Amino acid sequence: MSQAQYPMKLTPVLKDYLWGGTKLRDSYGKKTEQAIVAESWELSCHPDGPSRIANGAYAGRTLQDYVAEHPEAIGEAGKAFEGFPLLIKLIDAKESLSVQVHPDDAYAREHEGERGKTEMWYVIEAEPGAKLIYGFRTELTKEEFRAHIEGDTLLDVVHEVPVKKGDVFFIEAGTLHSIGGGILLAEVQQSSNSTYRVYDFGRVGADGKPRELHIEKALDVTRRERPKHGTKPLARIPIADMELVLLVSCNSFAVYHASVREKAVFRVDAESFQSLTLMDGRLTLETHTGGERLELRKGDTVFLPANMGTYSLTGSGEVLLGMLP
């Protein structure tokens, strides 16, 4: 392991969108004077919110600076992507987000100049009765979709899903969706910020005007169908030291949930970097070569460069583990 290959605790960028709450600030250790923390961009090289490295030789530098100097840190799988491929967030929805949709790669590159956005959600907390929107109840034509938008009846045809802690949602580009109020979740997505709002519950922005909608683009990209994916993990992997669960695997990312009980051993090989987000508990991360040691608390995220080698997590906690497929 070289001096540039060490576990990097990240300082996130915080977003104060009007629908957000205070849980990320009050319960997940996000230090800010903002009254609202809607999103915490935990691991990001996106220009709209690059995260920074908090420890070691690259402390104070952005993660984008680091991977520009060390592209091998993304891993062999990263050669299939242009730039850093992932963005990981924590999202606290005190109120519902807009009903929205994201474009796929081809449409986004043509119209937005960046990649598209497929994402997944892991529900960390959900208040009683919390719901989200996930696709449509029945298949619609494009003309029917437009008519429901223009007639203010879109909510009559969307698919609402009650949610609880541990639910998993795979949101392919083109899937209409909205996170409902009372939900806190982790999101792993392609590194993109292209969002088309379809319906915003009549809200206004800080300027007192209705927020912009993107109806024509949404009509172009939305899959007007029932969701194809369930809300349960893909597989449970029995390991002596922990419970490891594969949540989602697709062309852009693979995401696991690990429940560490006392001590668990992991390895970062040359194929992909890993990211760790501690959703609950306290853990100590220690590398087996070099002896680097990090104390992790609820809400912390760490970037582990590709080929860093073996490391252990000691303590008790729930971890979201992200990597390239």
Which helix (H) or strand (E) segment holds residue 304: the answer is: strand 301-304
Closest CA to 34 of 42, 43, 22, 52: 22
**CA 324 to each of CA 79, 194, 206, 274: distance values in angstroms, whole numbers, following the listed order:** 11, 21, 38, 8
Tokens encoding 39: 């999103």
203 catalytic? Reply is no
Catalytic residue (one of 115, 197, 267, 282)? 197
Closest CA to 179 of 238, 119, 94: 94
Dihedral sign (CA 270, 286, 87, 323): positive
Closest CA to 85 of 211, 202, 251: 251
C-beta of residue 268 within 8 angstroms of C-beta of residue 307 = yes
Q: Which residue has the tokens 């990597």?
A: 323
| Residues assigned a catalytic role | 197
